[in-house]
Amino acid sequence: MSEASRSLNFIEHIIEDDLSAGFPKKQLRFRFPPEPNGYLHIGHASSICLNFGLGLRYDAPVNLRFDDTNPAKEESEYVEAIKRDVEWLGFQWAEERYASDYFQQLYDWAEQLIRDGKAYVDSQTSEEIAAQKGTPTEAGTESPFRNRSVSENLELFRGMKEGKFAQGEHVLRARIDMASPNMLLRDPVMYRILHRAHHRTNTDWCIYPLYDWTHGESDYIEQVSHSLCTLEFKPHRPLYDWFLDCVTEPDKLRPKQREFARRNLSHTVVSKRKLLELVTGGHVSGWDDPRMPTISGLRRRGCTPEAIRNFADTIGIAKRENVVDVALLDFHMREHLNKVAPRVMAVLDPIKLVITNYPEGQEEWLETENNPEDPEAGTREIPFSRELYIEQEDFREEANRKFFRLKLGGEVRLKSGYIIKAERAVKDDKGRVVEVHCTYDPKSRSGSGTEESMRKVKGTLHWVSASHAIPAEVRLYDRLFTDPTPDQHKDRDFMEFINPDSLEVVQAWLEPGLETAQPSDRFQFQRLGYFCVDPDSTPANLVFNRTVTLRDTWAKIEQKEA
């Protein structure tokens, strides 16, 4: 149990403190509260891992609760997408709940607040109400309707509910303090009239509660012990508590809200508006484009749930501003994929290699390991023949000592095959190398046990047999933005930093066994990176997405020399 030795984050400290102060462990309960108005992204993943992780740690239930109080924005399509994403991440919620389940209870409580003189119907326009709100440094002014009688308020509020008024004609407001330094306490709106069908309650209601009035009360109804949200809700906490004071009974658990800093990822954006702009502007193919930081995008790219959970775990949770380097996410993808992804050979940018002393028409099947990290993964056979493809960049006519690959007169090992020596570069009219002719040492076959097969040569190349290889479309993805914090520049729009080379599509040659690869299958293309079969893929037209490259020490050496 390495888990036990892990240091606690500040939320866990709070819970431990509550526990040692006598809070019964059995009453611990958490919730993940998305609004079903968009797709989940990597930032949500952190919150999901936090809440569900706490559930696992304390053996406590975690509800999935949709905060669906705004019928203008929410759709059941998003509910389904969110559920799929949470499940894919590997978490199970105790109960699926909706804030809309509580509309009647919320309404009844609202009438109670009116009777207690804690809420009133305001009949001003939203502009008037906004104008009276004041500013952070100036107190607001009270509404002329603030002192309506209980019976008048009740009658009006019931009228609102019964649909007697047009949208915007009245709102229900909490009666708190128009001079509070906390602007959220300046008589916040609790209900607005919205003549709109709701994805669950349809037209049952034409008044809808707002977030502040709904959230804490929903936590209370569900008896959530610790309601965790992001830092921008910190100023809402006094209101959360004020509303709770209005309804809580002494024998029931009173939820507490605590806030943590949302996680920011470098080289991307996560705001819904900006993500939407990328989609509608055609910069990506959709919400699940593999370059998107959405859960669905990461999934399509080939990222594993384990990688995301480990990532969330290592970045932890705290209260300060942060930008987590996307390199850490890459690390976790590689770390997990290294253990589970079968190795295969694929050539993305081919050049033909002809072994002049290998008999024409001959072929043989070479045994190769599926995953050196996993002995259980076994072996498979791959075809070898006179004409092969290797990567263009693995051959140079001449190169210095640091180039461990194929150069004229130099030797190299073909992975799981033979040692070859480059003899001649065949060029076209323009002087471009179109073929490399080489000779092989027939006694050097990998695993044959001969002295020649044991010889150490510095370089090992991946390859495919030209006549056996199958074609595939391979989509090479890079980060979407060239700047680490594209949306944190004061005078520059984040779109200025979009990476024009974030997608390159190539036609590659794969070892024939990949013919049967199915969407979402993941592989390591040896020496290149991890790749995942795209949902667009068909047996007749294979499509792979590059999830992440392998670490590339050679690229760094080259870069330094340039």
Q: Kindly write out the interface string for residues 195-234 of this chain, putting x where it contacts RNA by CB under 7 A and - elsewhere.
A: -------------x-xxx-xx---------------xxxx
What the block records as the tokens of 475 is 């989509």
Binding range to RNA, per CB under 7 A, among 86-94, 179-187, 292-300, 463-471: 179-187
Q: Kindly write out the interface string for residues 98-127 of this chain, putting x where it contacts RNA by CB under 7 A and - elsewhere.
A: --------------------------xxx-
When the beta carbons of 204 and 232 are compared against RNA, the nearer one is 232
Q: Kindly write out the interface string for residues 330-349 of this chain, putting x where it contacts RNA by CB under 7 A and - elsewhere.
A: -x--xx--x----x------
Q: Under 8 Å CB-to-CB from 420, ≥6 apart: which residues?
A: 353, 355, 406, 411, 412, 413, 414, 438, 439, 440, 441
Binding range to RNA, per CB under 7 A, among 3-11, 108-116, 351-359, 507-515: 3-11
| Beta pairing, strands 419-427 & 433-440 | antiparallel
Say how many C-beta atoms besides its own lie within 10 A of residue 47's C-beta.
Answer: 21
**133, 272, 352, 421: which one is catalytic?**
272
Residue of 143, 416, 439, 465 that binds RNA (CB under 7 A) = 416
182 interacts with RNA by CB under 7 A: yes
CB of 231 to RNA, least distance (A): 6
DSSP line for 163-220:
T-S-TTS-EEEE---TT-SSGGGSS-EEEEE----BTTTBTS-SEEE-HHHHHHHHHH
Task: Give the DSSP H or E segment for 290.
Answer: none
90 interacts with RNA by CB under 7 A: no
409 interacts with RNA by CB under 7 A: no
When the beta carbons of 336 and 386 are compared against RNA, the nearer one is 336
Binding range to RNA, per CB under 7 A, among 276-284, 398-406, 499-507, 533-541: 398-406
161 interacts with RNA by CB under 7 A: no
Taking CB under 7 A as the criterion, which residues in 24-63 touch RNA? 33, 35
CB of 497 to RNA, least distance (A): 18
Residue of 31, 44, 256, 413 that binds RNA (CB under 7 A) = 413
Taking CB under 7 A as the criterion, which residues in 463-522 touch RNA? none
Instruction: Tell me the C-alpha distance between 429 and 418, whole Å.
Output: 31
Binding range to RNA, per CB under 7 A, among 195-203, 329-337, 496-504, 538-546: 329-337
Residue of 29, 301, 386, 527 that binds RNA (CB under 7 A) = 527
Instruction: Tell me the C-alpha distance between 239 and 245, whole Å.
Output: 10
Task: Give the DSSP H or E segment for 536.
Answer: none
Largest CA distance in the chain: 102
- Given a contact cutoff of 8 angstroms between Cβ atoms, the answer to whether 196 and 72 are in contact is yes
When the beta carbons of 143 and 545 are compared against RNA, the nearer one is 143
What is the total residue count of the chain? 562
| Amino acid residing at 446 | S
Residue of 197, 276, 323, 434 that binds RNA (CB under 7 A) = 323
Can you say whether residue 140 is alpha, beta or left, with left for phi > 0 and alpha for psi between -120 and 50 degrees? beta
Our answer to whether residue 95 is catalytic in this structure is no
Three-state secondary structure readout of 466-492 = CCCCEEEEEEEECCCECCCCCCCCCCC
Residue of 281, 286, 359, 447 that binds RNA (CB under 7 A) = 447
When the beta carbons of 44 and 289 are compared against RNA, the nearer one is 44
Taking CB under 7 A as the criterion, which residues in 273-302 touch RNA? none
When the beta carbons of 168 and 519 are compared against RNA, the nearer one is 168
Our answer to whether residue 142 is catalytic in this structure is no
Three-state secondary structure readout of 253-270 = CCCEEEEECCCCECCCCC
CB of 193 to RNA, least distance (A): 6
When the beta carbons of 38 and 55 are compared against RNA, the nearer one is 38
Instruction: Tell me the C-alpha distance between 551 and 395, whole Å.
Output: 20
When the beta carbons of 323 and 426 are compared against RNA, the nearer one is 323
Q: DSSP label at 353? A: E
When the beta carbons of 492 and 556 are compared against RNA, the nearer one is 556
Binding range to RNA, per CB under 7 A, among 100-108, 146-154, 456-464, 472-480: 456-464
Residue of 86, 193, 351, 503 that binds RNA (CB under 7 A) = 193
13 interacts with RNA by CB under 7 A: yes
Say how many C-beta atoms besides its own lie within 10 A of residue 456's C-beta.
Answer: 6
CA distances from 50 to 2, 30, 168, 245, 437 (A): 18, 10, 39, 27, 57
Our answer to whether residue 234 is catalytic in this structure is no
CB of 547 to RNA, least distance (A): 13
| Beta pairing, strands 387-391 & 350-355 | antiparallel
CB of 381 to RNA, least distance (A): 14
Taking CB under 7 A as the criterion, which residues in 367-386 touch RNA? 371-373
422 interacts with RNA by CB under 7 A: no
Helices (H) and strands (E) in the chain, counts: 13, 27
Binding range to RNA, per CB under 7 A, among 195-203, 281-289, 379-387, 552-560: 552-560
What the block records as the tokens of 419 is 């040692």
Taking CB under 7 A as the criterion, which residues in 56-75 touch RNA? 67, 69-70, 72-73
Instruction: Tell me the C-alpha distance between 253 and 130, whole Å.
Output: 35
Binding range to RNA, per CB under 7 A, among 20-28, 318-326, 355-363, 537-545: 318-326
When the beta carbons of 35 and 473 are compared against RNA, the nearer one is 35
Instruction: Tell me the C-alpha distance between 77 and 36, whole Å.
Output: 8
314 interacts with RNA by CB under 7 A: yes
Instruction: Tell me the C-alpha distance between 267 and 201, whole Å.
Output: 40
Q: Which residue is associated with the tokens 């209601």?
A: 205
Q: Under 8 Å CB-to-CB from 425, ≥6 apart: which residues?
A: 395, 397, 408, 433, 435, 436, 437
* Collapsed DSSP state (helix, strand, coil) of residue 316: coil
Could you give the residue numbers annotated as active site? 35, 262, 272
